[in-house]
Structure 1
Amino acid sequence: MAGARIATALTASAAAWGLTAFPAAAQDGVGGAVGRAIDAFNGAVFYQVPFLGSQIEWIIIWMFLPMLFLTVWFGFINVRAFPLALNILRGRYRDDTAPGEVTQFQALSTALSGTVGLGNIAGVAIAIGLGGPGAAFWMIVIGFLAMSLKFAECTLGVKYRKENPDGTVSGGPMYYLTRGLAARGWVRAGAILGWLYALLALPSLLQIAQVNQAYSQISLVTGIEGRASQWLFGIVAGVLVGIVILGGIRTIARVTVRLVPLMAAIYVAAALFIIGANVSAVPDAVGLILREALAPEAGIGGVIGALVWGMRRAVYSTEAGLGSATIAHAAARTREPVSEGLVALLEPFIDTVVICTMTALVIIITGAYQMQGPDGQMLNDIQMTSAAFNSVIGGFDVVLAVAVLLFAFSTIISWGYYSGKVWGFIFGESRRSMAIYKLVYCVALMPGAVLSVGQVLSIMDSIFFLMAIPNVIAVYLFAGELKRDLKDYRARIRSGAIRRAEQPLPSAAE
């Protein structure tokens, strides 16, 4: 999950999530009735319900159930269609004359830049720190199941996108709710759900915390502090983001298609170096993860604890069910919605399954999950991950600071595109309207390093997760239609009706 989300303040259940970066309402200066109302709202969104003898937030169950259902409904598409998804991503079935604005590889890179980040890396540490090594196993399992949900929502994003006269496209849950349900004669229901999604999405897409977190990490490494440096950092961030998002999805895609592989390469190379240097310890680490996940010394309670923490962090990491990534995938150049859905299912595999596995192995191999900080407390979240890498690669905190900067920038520009499409749905996509939006978005970033954003983010994150309500409803309603579309697409692939491109690789990342 993107870096901003790791800083979430869940005022009613912060302790349960293991996220305490921001203070509660009373500590943040928001007092009286307003503070109590915000706390009550957050408490309702993250209200915990009984689950296998433990407790878990109802919104997590809401997002997990369609992952499990769709995996079975589509016949384990996350396994059976994986090779086909890779071939599509490589451009084997590309159609350069199809409507859309970017290649399928660029669409995936844009979506990944909004999800891959510090939150994924720190999320594994949180899960292991609070649920034990076995939680990593359940994160991987949930990430695997999330692939089916991501396929479903992103297929809908392309199928019901709006093609504009100027060649641009607009898509996302607000479009497949309104247009898709209207096609079934449910005009009013579609309008209500589509507008509900848009109104929930718009405020939750502001990325102030990305700037705040990036500055904090840079300040920690360099020692630079003070209001002047905070304002300078925020202004530079706003200007750089403005330069990119002014060019629209094509410019954003050209940036993310370079940034995402770079970020992934840096992190994967560092993780592989540590794993390779301790290769003899890998079997024991894998064995520990499996033992703690399936038969821990603590008994059934330990299994459930690992499962609950793995579910929490994996759902948080993949964003499957929120519908945000569908906005990026809707811009893909294709006539086949299912093909883009298949590309999209690779997203949770990369951002949760691969990164989670590597991070978990590094943390366990180095013993960082058993390390204590200077205050005598056990390390948690990003401190644990940083300590794990620093124990083998000296000065990794500097690399981490650079990574945070890249993660933050790529996330801000991707979510700038997402929120722009939501803005356009609400206020119209005229040149004047979109110019106003881009100005507002960039200017709003500038005080991000200065502001104390705890309480603002707590309610924004609550709204953020509520986006899953209308989106998951849509996925259930269209499940039958999606299954028929998938069956038809795979039949045409097998029969040769959909031909392979002669030169697939050059245009895959253009």
Structure 2
Amino acid sequence: MSFLLSIVQQTFDDSLNKAFGNATGWFVDAVLTEIPVTEAIGIPWVLVILFGGALYFTLYFKGVNIRNFFTAIQVVYGRYDALENQKEDNQKSLVGEVTHFQALTTAVSATVGLGNIAGVAIALSLGGPGATLWMVFIGLLGMSSKFVECTLGVKYREVGVDGKIFGGPMYYIRKGFEEKGFNKLGKFMAALFAIMCMGGSLGGGNMFQINQAYKLFEHVIIPKTSFLHGQGWIFGVIMAILVGIVIIGGIKKIASVTDKIVPLMVIIYLIAILTILCMNIAEIPNAFVIIWKGAFNAEGVLGGCVGVLIQGFRRGAFSNEAGIGSSSIAHSAVKTKFPASEGLVAMLEPFIDTVVVCTMTALVLIITGQIETGAEINSEQGVLLTSAALESGISWFPYLLTIAVVLFAFSSMISWSYYGYQSCSYLFGKSKGIEYTYKIIFCCFTVVGAASTLTSVTDFSDTMIFAMMIPNMIGLFLLRNKVLEELKRYQNKIAEFLALN
């Protein structure tokens, strides 16, 4: 029976990979076309735009990522909640579906994932320990892009008759272009973003996540002699049921799950990482020296940029998604009347995801000697390298990592299902029929992703996520002055609040 299943699965994989490879290879090649730097090194043009945009927004907003960092933390902890409750100009009750903390955890749940585990190992294998410094640098700059897109997400969101929030790049691109007099172009760019977000949701945000989670689960948990070995569809069905139970409830249900799962999964992962670091505490200073020395050679720069922003993105739905626009969909649902307040909260995502989690993973890999610079590895090998690094300290830590990875995958999937549904509703309407149809399709793709290889399918869908950057970055640049106005308005309100308290 298992032999017949393996033949059917292989035939399905080959057919689907061939179909997608032939039909979409040109799209993948176009999006990831490289700009040559040297004879051996090329950087995809989309990466240049992401990095250039993040740098521009950091300068334009005068270092908002640094100046307003502690304000962002205070907003999450409710320091300025009283501002939200003040009634002004016949204002109605506060709109929104989730709190600042829930919006943050929902978005973080989509970004903290396999990119932090496999992506970091790939980055260091490509560029050596020095790539770590560039991860931190990119994460810090990405905070500014995240601030801009999530501020716009709240500013241009729409509220349904039942109080549901609909927001994200689809809405601020269309409305922003309309304000500039480019109605048709705005509608086209918004629809383009929505189409690519749906594809990315089903592929990179679903099939790939479940596929890689199962691979580690199978490697660590399931004995090779067990009848469950190689039967990914069983794992997929179980996860699809769990995902379905959560996503049927909408953003409120998703947020109520992620605000518990995200702290738990990060704590589980960080406990394992911190334990290894504490066991090797004497090696940490030397690891930082190695990182600094290696950061300024060609391999370090290449590893940091390509490894994290390409491999970390493609093998974990991007390391922090700054500039992609997806997170603004989750942040749009927040209860606030100050768009900039949520923009500031959103800045914490790249900091948590890239600056903290990725850096700690890199330190463990460096200290335990798991990285061979110049070796080309895939995401599955990257996860196993991190697993081996943890196992070198305590033998049962790979089991802890497996739990964390499954939680990472689960949380990413439920968040990306919301992103995909929001895009679907923008294109096809906000009816219950459209909503449940999309969510059923999403759960079906979960089973397919767990049971199959589907290399070409996930390559294409991941490329769609990368391509979301094109209309999004245009919209961010076009509306940057609106964001500046919102930031000044919120800062003035905080100044008034502090003067009275």
TM-score, scaled to structure 1: 0.86
Question: In 1, Cα distance between the equivalents of 2:227 and 2:47?
Answer: 38
SS of 1:49's equivalent in the other structure is strand
1:268-417 alignment, distance < 5 Å: 268-294=270-296, 300-302=297-299, 304-306=301-303, 308-309=305-306, 312=309, 316-370=318-372, 381-417=382-418
Q: Structure 1 residue aligned with 2:167, among 164, 171, 181? A: 171
| Deviates further, 85-94 or 183-192 | 183-192
Question: In 1, Cα distance between the equivalents of 2:387 and 2:242?
Answer: 28
Partner in structure 2 of residue 217 of structure 1? 216
- Describe the shift of the 1:312–1:211 C-alpha distance in structure 2 as closer, same or farther (beyond 3 A): closer
SS of 2:441's equivalent in the other structure is helix
1:107-256 alignment, distance < 5 Å: 107-206=103-202, 207-221=206-220, 222-223=222-223, 224=226, 226=228, 229-256=231-258
Post-superposition Cα deviations, 1:428-474, rounded to whole Å, max 9, x if no partner, equal 11122212222222233223322231111111112221111000000
Partner in structure 1 of residue 32 of structure 2? 46
C-alpha RMSD over aligned residues: 2.7
Matched, 1:80 2:67: yes
Question: How far is 1:46 from its partner?
Answer: 1.0
TM-score, scaled to structure 2: 0.87
Question: How far is 1:351 from its partner?
Answer: 0.4
Partner in structure 2 of residue 297 of structure 1? none
Question: In 1, Cα distance between the equivalents of 2:306 and 2:278?
Answer: 28
Are the counterparts in 2 of residues 293 and 306 from structure 1 also a CA contact under 8 Å?
no
Aligned residues between the structures? 467
Partner in structure 1 of residue 79 of structure 2? 92
Are the counterparts in 2 of residues 67 and 149 from structure 1 also a CA contact under 8 Å?
yes
- Describe the shift of the 1:32–1:78 C-alpha distance in structure 2 as closer, same or farther (beyond 3 A): closer
Question: How far is 1:372 from its partner?
Answer: 12
- Describe the shift of the 1:142–1:225 C-alpha distance in structure 2 as closer, same or farther (beyond 3 A): farther
The amino acid across from 1:99 in the alignment is: V
Question: In 2, Cα distance between the equivalents of 1:485 and 1:150?
Answer: 15
Question: In 2, Cα distance between the equivalents of 1:38 and 1:241?
Answer: 29
Question: In 2, Cα distance between the equivalents of 1:384 and 1:499?
Answer: 54
Question: How far is 1:308 from its partner?
Answer: 4.0
The amino acid across from 2:386 in the alignment is: T
Are the counterparts in 2 of residues 173 and 194 from structure 1 also a CA contact under 8 Å?
yes
Are the counterparts in 2 of residues 133 and 288 from structure 1 also a CA contact under 8 Å?
yes
SS of 2:161's equivalent in the other structure is coil
Are the counterparts in 1 of residues 153 and 172 from structure 2 also a CA contact under 8 Å?
yes
Question: In 1, Cα distance between the equivalents of 2:17 and 2:242?
Answer: 36
Question: How far is 1:36 from its partner?
Answer: 4.4
Question: How far is 1:197 from its partner?
Answer: 0.7
Partner in structure 1 of residue 3 of structure 2? none
The amino acid across from 1:72 in the alignment is: L
Partner in structure 2 of residue 259 of structure 1? 261
> Gaps spanning 5+ residues in structure 2: where?
1-12, 86-92
Question: In 2, Cα distance between the equivalents of 1:411 and 1:58?
Answer: 27
Question: In 1, Cα distance between the equivalents of 2:499 and 2:153?
Answer: 21
Question: In 2, Cα distance between the equivalents of 1:457 and 1:307?
Answer: 23
SS of 1:368's equivalent in the other structure is coil
Partner in structure 1 of residue 5 of structure 2? none
Question: In 2, Cα distance between the equivalents of 1:114 and 1:153?
Answer: 16
Question: In 2, Cα distance between the equivalents of 1:361 and 1:348?
Answer: 18
The amino acid across from 2:254 in the alignment is: I
> Gaps spanning 5+ residues in structure 1: where?
1-26, 295-299, 501-510
- Describe the shift of the 1:225–1:197 C-alpha distance in structure 2 as closer, same or farther (beyond 3 A): farther
Post-superposition Cα deviations, 1:2-27, rounded to whole Å, max 9, x if no partner, equal xxxxxxxxxxxxxxxxxxxxxxxxx9
Which structure has more helix as a fraction of its residues?
2
| Deviates further, 427-436 or 35-44 | 35-44
